[in-house]
Structures are given as structure tokens and as C-alpha cells.
Amino acid sequence: MDRPVILTGLRANNDLHIGNYFGALLPIVDMANRRAGAYEVHLFVPDLHSFTTPIDHSLLQAQIMHNLKLFVAAGLPLDNPNVHIYRQSYIPAHSELAIILNSFTGMGQLGRMTQYKDKSGKLGDDIVSVGLFDYPVLMAADILLYGTQYVPVGDDQTQHLEFARDIAERMNSKFATELFIVPEPVAKQREFFGGATGQPKGLRIKDLIDPTKKMSKSDESGRGIIFLGDTPEAAVKKIMGATTDSLGAVNLDPDNQPGIANLLQIVALLSNQSLDTVAEMHQGQTEYGTFKKQVAEAVQAFLVDFQARLAAVDEVKLLEKLLASETKMNDVANETLLRVQAAVGLR
Ligand code: TYM
């Protein structure tokens, strides 16, 4: 493929939330709508990544299909021939490349990954899987198979992106060949997507109850998370119950007022304005209840609109596109895999 590739994946371990939506889904959908003539745009479900932490497997199939529908509801243009939508496990080259890359990856490097340390810290030793440890290698395979240059992801995935660059460079130098296209440096990527979300840095929406940690779909209680499938009423309740502080005036001060800063960020994203503009509008507001009500109204309007678009998704068309993309992407991925197999002496 000659056009540069923009690619991202969203796991199907649960319903998506507004962090996933604004951190990864909207930036790539925006690119697909504005730039698909100049780029190949890949949006896929990393289904093999779904159970790196424990899930209810009887729900996975339905969740995968649901998440694919969310992509379309978010505005992914299925008619565009440069847009590709697929499930990771339907393209076996992902797993095969990951197995090869494993042998060129140090245990130490994977053990230092922040996400691995965070997630494994919460699980018992018997539940921490090799899959969780190896997560970044499979993710690197996802990226490198298609010669990807740009990967819109939230801030929490920066280290994994750096790892993909790192292993691509190492393999290229070891085998003295242009084996992989190295994804752009992360700072350059942020610039590239900056226009889409107004985020020069990677985005990190915080949990509403504990605004010192990120909103995460693996979180059990769900009270601090706005899921795309939440009823507007439930979402309003969650916003009204969001943790704030005792300072009593709205300011953009993430260190001292993380809850307020998070709510300002959510309003900025929902209204497609810069964070500074929104902060200025609410600066000094002393009634947190009134402020939260304004945030809740914006969230409610967004969910009503999004869910109407979700209900209108043409499932037949989605399935046709999915199967066509999977056939095509198997060819593209197998070409890269063969090149790697030849380089390491397997072919
Ligand atoms: P997942 O499903 O955990 O997250 C999907 C995307 O949502 C972003 N994200 C957030 N962004 C802002 N604020 C938050 N609170 C927040 N929480 C999550 C994540 O950064 C991510 O971009 N490892 C990927 C899945 C993946 C992938 C890939 C991505 C597998 N292979 C290849 C890109 C390329 C992940 O975190 O999924």
C-alpha cells in the first residue's frame, strides 16, 4: 500500500467510555472523514487483547459486534475504500508476528511497562497472565504489519507506542534491511492529531470518583465512568456525583483541583472548544452544583445524539464491510509476515 497508514484498535473487554471515544475513536474517525483519500485508515478490534485481564467470555462475541457498531455510530465512513475495519483474530498474521517479535524482546523491557505494573499489581500472581505481560508485543505486531505511521491513542498507551518504534528500529538494524516502517515519534503523532481533539498531548480523561486516576473500562464499579451505552439519566447522576474539592471556585488547576479540571476537559471535548476557552468561561464560578449541572446537560445531549446514531447503524452494511476488509487485510498482513519470516530465516 502506498498511502501512509493511520491505525488504532479499541479492546472489546467492555462497553467503550468517553475516554476511549475522545482519546482514540474520534481522532481516527475524524481523519477517516477528512483525509482518507491521502491515507489508509485502519480501525480494528484487538479481540485477542480482550482477555489479557479476566472477562466473562460468554459476552465477548456480542461485545465485539457492539463495539464495531460504535465505530460506525461515531461516524466511520464505511463507503470509503481507504477505510478498513477488522477483528485482530481473523488475521492470523498478528499472532504469528507477535510470536516472532517475542524472541527479540527482553523480559526486563516488558516488566517495566507502566500498564503491566499497574494491572498486575491489582491481580493476584496466579491471575497475572503471560498475555498481559506480552500485551505490548502483540500491539507492536498490530501496528507494524501494516506499515503504520500514525496511531491515535490515549496518553496511557504512549509507552506501548514507544515500544513499537523501538522494536521496529531494533529489527531493522539487526537484519540490515527496511523490514518495518517505523511509526512516527510520539510527539509528532500528537501534533498530527492535535487538530482533531484540540489535544497537543495525549488525552487522559480521569475517573469521576477518583480524579487522580484515569477513567478505565476495566474498573469494576463503573460509578466514575461515563459509558457510551449509559442511559442519559444514569450519566447525569454520575456527573452530579463526581468528586470535586473544598476550594469552592472553578479554576483550571489539575494538581490542586483534579476533579474540576476533569469536568472542564469533558465540557471542552463535548463542545469542541479548547480547554482554555472553556476554563475561562467557568473561571471563578462558585456554585459547583450549577457547574456540574451544566456539564451533565452537555453529557446528556451527547449521549442522546450518539445513541440515536447507534440505533440507526445498518448492520448488514457493517458486516459486508467487515468481511471485505478482513479478506483484504489478510493479504496485506501476510506480505509483511512473509518478509519478516524470510529475514529471520524461516523462509
Ligand atoms: P483500550 O481498549 O484499553 O483503549 C482504547 C483507547 O482508549 C484510550 N483510552 C483513553 N483515552 C483518554 N482517556 C482515558 N481515560 C482513556 N482510557 C483509554 C486508550 O489509550 C486507547 O487508545 N492497547 C490499546 C488497544 C490496542 C491498540 C493496538 C491500539 C491493541 N493493539 C494497536 C493501537 C494500535 C488499548 O489500550 O485499548
pLDDT of residue 198: 45
Tell me how many domains the chain contains: 2
Q: How many residues can be counted in the chain?
A: 347
Instruction: Say yes or no: 125 and 225 in one domain.
Output: no
Q: Nearest residue CA, atom 3 of ligand 1?
A: 11
8 A C-beta contact, residue 217 and residue 17: yes
pLDDT of residue 130: 95
Name the residue range of residue 240's domain: 202-313
Measured in Å, residue 116 CA sits from the centre of ligand 1 at: 14
For residue 151 and ligand 1, the question of a CB distance below 6 A is answered with: yes
CA pair distance 261, 275, nearest whole angstrom: 9
For residue 153 and ligand 1, the question of a CB distance below 6 A is answered with: yes
What CATH number is attached to the domain comprising 291?
1.10.240.10
8 A C-beta contact, residue 178 and residue 338: no
pLDDT of residue 322: 98
User: Of 264, 256, 316, 324, which is closest to residue 81 (Cα–Cα)?
Assistant: 324
Instruction: Say yes or no: 270 and 288 in one domain.
Output: yes
Residue 212: CB atoms within 10 A of its CB come to 11
Measured in Å, residue 281 CA sits from the centre of ligand 1 at: 30
Instruction: Say yes or no: 143 and 57 in one domain.
Output: yes
CA pair distance 242, 62, nearest whole angstrom: 30
pLDDT of residue 197: 44
pLDDT of residue 283: 95
**Set of cell numbers at residue 156:** 496511557
* pLDDT per residue rounded down to tens, the chain (347 residues): 589 999 999 999 999 999 999 999 999 999 999 988 999 999 999 999 999 999 999 999 999 999 999 999 999 999 999 999 999 999 999 999 999 999 999 999 999 999 999 888 888 777 899 999 999 999 999 999 999 999 999 999 999 999 999 999 999 999 977 999 999 999 998 889 875 444 446 799 999 999 999 999 877 788 999 999 999 999 999 999 999 999 999 999 999 999 999 999 999 999 999 999 999 999 999 999 999 999 999 999 999 999 999 999 999 999 999 999 999 999 999 999 999 999 999 99
Helix ranges (DSSP H) in the chain: 18-20, 26-35, 60-73, 93-102, 107-111, 114-122, 130-133, 135-144, 158-174, 186-197, 232-240, 258-271, 275-282, 288-311, 315-344
Instruction: Say yes or no: 39 and 121 in one domain.
Output: yes
Measured in Å, residue 264 CA sits from the centre of ligand 1 at: 22
Instruction: Say yes or no: 79 and 177 in one domain.
Output: yes
pLDDT of residue 201: 64
Measured in Å, residue 344 CA sits from the centre of ligand 1 at: 30
Instruction: Say yes or no: 154 and 15 in one domain.
Output: yes
| Residue in 85, 115, 143, 156 to alter for ligand 1 test, most ligand atoms within 8 A of Cβ | 156
The catalytic residues are 119, 214, 217
Instruction: Say yes or no: 149 and 20 in one domain.
Output: yes
For residue 9 and ligand 1, the question of a CB distance below 6 A is answered with: yes
Instruction: Say yes or no: 133 and 100 in one domain.
Output: yes
